Amino acid sequence: MARRTSKRAATTAHHTSRRGGRNFLWVLGAIGVAALLGWAQGTFASKVVVEGDKAVVTREVDGGLETVSLKLPAVITTDLRLNEPRYASLPNIMKAKKKPIETIAPDALGVDVAPRLVTLKVEEPAKRKGGVKVPDIPTLIDKLRNEAKVL
């Protein structure tokens, strides 16, 4: 996916490639796209301001807010707090249904999509053993200490 997205992004005149959602796989895809294109990247953006040939990206971190400046072009993944979702009206939904969708084959972008992994084996996990009911707390502590060896 990153190869196809990077090839497509390289052929457009945009300064940014935005990826929505706080899904880890989206972020991994964005890292791959940024690496393949040699572009800067900002992840989990809650605010983006474009200033000339730079983008100032603000994101939430554990200690507060982190602000970074990225040289454009850049790949930016967004957080849900970036903007309010738009809800399409029925007339706009009907107009969108009539618009053609451009389909590009991977070959047209020069991307090899042949599988590179071979699945050797797939098996179900072992069945879990049934639990044990204990009559009181001292018995529970004894089992945890002597049988499970966790205490």
pLDDT of residue 139: 94
Neighbour count for residue 101 (Cβ, 10 Å): 5
CA atoms within 13 A on the CB side of 78: 14
Tens digit of each residue's pLDDT (9 = 90 or more) over 88-139: 899 999 999 999 988 888 888 888 888 878 888 989 988 888 888 999 999 9
The structural architecture, per CATH, of the domain 2-109 is 3-Layer(aba) Sandwich (3.40)
Tens digit of each residue's pLDDT (9 = 90 or more) over 60-100: 888 889 999 998 888 888 877 777 777 889 999 999 999 99
Amino acid in the structure at residue 14:
H
